[in-house]
Amino acid sequence: MKVSQNWLKTLVDIDTTPEDLSEKLSIGGFEVDYLEDCSENVNGVVLGKVLSVVKHQGSDKLNICQVDVGNTKNLQIICGARNIKPNIFVYVATIGAHLSAIDLIIKRSEIRGVISEGMICSLEELGLEDSSEGIAVVEEDIAIKYELGTAGAILLDLNDYVYDLAITANRPDGMSVLGIAREISALLETKFHFPKLCHHYKINLLEKIDLCSEAITSDCIYTITSIDGLNGNQLSPRWLKDRIEKSGIKSINLLVDITNFILLEQGQPLHAFDKDKLSNLIGKEVLPDDFSVRKAKDQETLVCLDGKKYELNENITIIACGNIPVAIAGVIGGLETSVTNCTSSIYLEGAVFSPLSIRKSSKEIGIRTESSSRFEKGISFKNTIDSVTRAINLIEEYFGDNKPIINISNELIKEDKFIKLRRDRIHQILGPILLKNVQPNNFEKLDKRNLSDKEIEDKLKLIGCFLKSKEYGWDVQVLPNRSQDLLREIDLIEEIARLIGYDLFDLQLPNPIKPGKLSSSQLALKKLNYGFIENGFNEVLSYSLVSEDNNDLIKIANPLLIETSCLRDNIWHEHLRIINRNIKAGQTSCWIFEIGNIFYKKIDYIQEQILSGGIYGKRKLEKWVDSGKENDLNYYEARGKLNESLANMNIKVEDKPCNNIDFLHPGKTAKLFIEGKEVGYFGEIHPRLILEKKVLKKIYLFSLKVSNILNASTRKNKWIPLYKQFPTVPKMERDINLIFNKKYLINDIISQIKKSGKNLLEDVNLIDVFEDEDLGNNVVSYTFRLSYRGSEKTLLESDIAGIHSNIITTIENKFNTKLRN
């Protein structure tokens, strides 16, 4: 947002330097990106009068001019402009002046034997126009008001500064000159001059107008006003043109410039339609009820003010007249109904559209305008009628009384909304302020005290708040243009602190200060992360917004791009891309993991944190050992890496074969269980994806629910280390060798052995697997080593014989197996 200091001075008393004001605005929340001195380009340029013009004897095109610039001695200047003549007033660049537009420092020089003591300038040379035909001639009725030698910056209204402000989304009032002026009034504690409305106009309620419910919500409004007796050929007065151009908007004609002026001054976008063009478009005289706000239809088009033809769709909100599109609501008007030099009557539109509808339209057509940026931040509909009235006042000032009727979509119901502001709460949140108390002998003492009621009231009144005194403090009513950011008591307290100055408040630290600490789950999450890093994995972070690949994804309401329009329901897709990029880059291995969220919908929307990752290749430094050998890990090696990385969590992860995950190998995939609950999967990528070139090499993927890992690892018996005495008696080991059908799982067999072993069975381990055609194709031989130990004595054979025999019998019956001979 650009605004000139001269404009601000008409609205607020400024009693400080531009540099100091810039600093105060930045500290106050309106950061000044750049402060431009408008006179910088014309320093050393003064008003002069050409007294005589004589042909240069050494040139056909040059003239020797005597110019009076108010000094005792006239300047002799060589000039080659065609429009130079005696008795005209011109802009003279004196010796030492720097014309930055053409990067020239004026010096006393000799041109073909004649001394030249300056330069008579064109507006192009002063940086005020793109091109000029000759020197700039100052109109006599303007020049005679000033003495010769007056700085050119004064005549050109360049004795000014322009503040380029960065307005944050929570301060839409900063998108208007009035809002900035009020902010300056509060910061400097000076008087604010609100522009008064000269006339008010009759209001008519449009009962039949068709309005889109998404664009015109309960806190929005649409107004349309017919104004006749105009002249589109009339140009703007100098003051108006100066203000809007310094704000970065090009002057077009008086009618258009007035709408842009209101946009800047009030922060309320307006748009003018040519009334005659509208009538020609719909084939009859236009009435206010002919206007409507609706969603565009597919295949509708509109040529806009920028000369481009836009393809419309149902995501774009349009203004229609006679159901024909004439503007993209809140973004840009149509060229066919725009105001031109031939315009004699207009329909003036003033509206407040919902920010969501404007963002959608702006994104769809790919442009952002001064109007759309204001609607997107949010403006108050309570200011719209006054802004339209202000515009009509200016139109009547230059085109005569018209007394139009302002047609509105809905009546403004006056409701007084107050925010409860408690005195005790202010003191509790902000604490005391520190004041310097100068003692005798120039000794400074710091006094502490809470803010007084008067200080609080004065600061809130400076930003336009109305206060009602109450026993607990105040009921506060805020201005409409601050209703977007001052919603709660804490917002008002923050505003008080900002205007008082944060640096004046004493420290407000908790007493006593309690150090923070991480919870068991937070510590376990860090431990989980470290476990993978210590075992050679690299942590990655992928974007949670993805393109719409299927209808099951959750769509976000207002995406910036089609590629980021949905929330992801998995992470492995992105991990495959990362590994493929590493393979293409020549990497022989890539082990990655990520702890992130996925999103899906059952009855409600669900956000779930998972541990996901991928494993490709062997990671060894001694590459010469495996030179020429296959680089891929086998299933058990890759699964072992996952086990090693989870070892520090002190949890047991069980595997069960699985063949129903469509992107994983049906014979090399397992579902993972913790404490009997399914938590994820581990498996080799499906060969089909390699054949389709979606995956370049053999990759292993895994995914586990983080909540189950953390819950299991932070249980009291797992999280807090318990002391266990080393055994003082030896153990006894017995091996059993049985033949099983391959359909039985090792985990189930070991679990059954442990259940049957009672208290004396200490451990069970699989020590051998044997397959042979003599045994049969569907069977396998497993050898288990069982360890027995007593708690107080060395066990005898008689102590374990019964238990060992019972284990064998139970296994034989349970799994239909037999001991191998």
Burial, 720: exposed, middle or buried (Cβ in 10 Å; 0-12, 13-18, 19+)?
A: exposed
Q: Which pLDDT score, from 0 to 100, does residue 29 have?
A: 85
**Backbone torsion region of residue 629, taken as left when φ is above 0, otherwise alpha when ψ lies between -120 and 50, otherwise beta:** beta
β 538-539/590-601 pair status: parallel
Q: For residue 170, list its beta bridge partners.
A: none
Q: Tell me how crowded residue 176 is: count the other CB atoms within 10 A of its CB.
A: 25
Spell 305-333 as b/e; 16+ CB within 10 A means b.
Answer: beeeebebeeebbbbbbbebbbbbbbbbb
pLDDT mean over 39-63:
90
- Other C-beta atoms within 10 Å of 151: how many? 17
Q: Which residue has the higher pLDDT, 59 or 265?
A: 265
Backbone angles phi, psi at 690, to 5 degrees: -70, -40
Torsion angles phi and psi, residue 240, rounded to 5: -70, -45
Question: Is the pTM here over 0.85, yes or no?
Answer: no
DSSP string for residues in 706-718: HHHHHHHHTSHHH
> For residues 23 and 681, what is the distance between their CA atoms, to the nearest angstrom?
58
Distance CA 379, CA 173 (A): 8
Question: Is the pLDDT confidence value at 58 over 60?
Answer: yes
d(Cα 267, Cα 378) in Å, to the nearest integer? 10
Helices and strands (H and E) in the chain: how many:
22, 44
* Strand pairing class (210-211; 291-295): parallel
CA 47 from chain centre, in angstroms, equals 49
Q: What is the pLDDT of residues 414-457, one digit of tens each?
A: 777 899 999 999 999 998 988 766 555 555 667 888 999 999 99
What are the tens digits of pLDDT across the range 736-746?
A: 999 999 888 88
The residue type at 407: N
Sign of the alpha-carbon torsion through 633, 636, 642, 643: negative
How do beta strands 221-227 and 406-408 pair?
Answer: antiparallel
541, amino acid identity = L
Q: What are phi and psi for residue 288, nearest 5 degrees?
A: -55, -35
Residue 627 predicted with pLDDT over 70: no
Give me the amino acid identity at 55. K
Q: Where are the alpha helices (DSSP H) in 586-705?
A: 635-646, 687-691
pLDDT at 624: 59
Q: Which helix (H) or strand (E) holds 803?
A: helix 797-815
According to the model, what pLDDT value does residue 622 have?
61
User: Which residue is associated with the tokens 């074969």?
Assistant: 657
pLDDT of residue 446: 72
Q: What angle do CA 210, 212, 217 make, to 5 degrees?
A: 115
Q: Distance of CA 655 to CAs 131, 679, 707, 752, Å?
A: 79, 10, 18, 16
Distance CA(563)–CA(565), nearest Å, equals: 6
Structure tokens at 782: 């497993």
Using 50, 70 and 90 to split pLDDT, how confident is the model at 480? confident
Q: What is the pLDDT of residue 443?
A: 55
Query: Which residues touch 750 (CB under 8 Å, ≥6 apart)?
Result: 764, 766, 784
Residue 442 backbone zone (phi > 0: left; psi -120 to 50: alpha; other: beta): left
Give the Cα separation of 386 and 352 in Å (integer). Answer: 13
Closest CA to 473 of 493, 498, 449, 501: 493
Cis peptide before 727 (omega within 30 of 0): no
Nearest to 71 by CA among 94, 52, 90: 94
Q: Within its chain, how far is the Cα of 340 from the centroid?
A: 37
**Residue 669 — very low, low, confident or very high, per pLDDT cuts 50/70/90?**
very high
Helix (H) or strand (E) holding 597: strand 590-601
Residue 30 tokens read as 């309106």
Phi, psi torsion values for 428, nearest 5 degrees: -70, -40
Residue 672: alpha-carbon gap to chain centroid? 40
pLDDT beyond 70 at 76: yes
What's the pLDDT tens digit per position in 772-789? Answer: 888 888 889 999 999 999
Q: What span, in angstroms and rounded, lies between the C-alpha atoms of 52 and 87?
A: 7
CA neighbor of 597 nearest in space, from 606, 588, 589: 606
Write out the DSSP string of 289-318. Answer: GGEEEEEPPTT-EEEBTTS-EEE--TTSEE
Of 411-415, 595-599, 697-701, least confident by mean pLDDT is 411-415
Residue 202 predicted with pLDDT over 90: yes
Residue 446's Cβ-count burial label (10 Å; 0-12, 13-18, 19+) is exposed
What is the structure's pLDDT at 625? 59
CA atoms within 13 A on the CB side of 580: 13
Read off the tokens for 584.
Answer: 């293409």
The band of 628, judged by pLDDT with boundaries at 50, 70 and 90, is low
Split at pLDDT 50, 70, 90, the class of 560 is: confident
Nearest to 762 by CA among 791, 742, 782: 791
DSSP conformation letters of 626-642: GTTS-----HHHHHHHH
- Residues 45-75, buried b or exposed e (16+ Cβ, 10 A)? bbbbbbeebeebeeeeebbbbebbbeeeebb
What single string gives the DSSP state of each residue in 194-251? PPPPS----EEE-SS-EE-TTTS-TT-EEEEEEE-S--TTPPPPHHHHHHHHHTT---
pLDDT tens per residue, range 233-263: 999 998 999 999 999 999 999 999 999 999 9
Distance, in Å, from the CA atom of 775 to the CA atom of 159, rounded to the nearest integer, reads 103
Residue 792: CB atoms within 10 A of its CB come to 6
Residues 350 and 223: beta-carbon distance below 8 Å? yes
Question: Is residue 118 scored above 70 in pLDDT?
Answer: yes
Q: Describe the crossing of helices 254-266 and 177-188 by its angle, rounded to 10 degrees.
A: 40
Asked whether the predicted pLDDT for residue 623 surpasses 80, the reply is no
Mean pLDDT across the stretch 534-561?
A: 88
Instruction: For 469-493, give the DSSP string.
Output: E-SSEEEEE--GGGTTT--SHHHHH
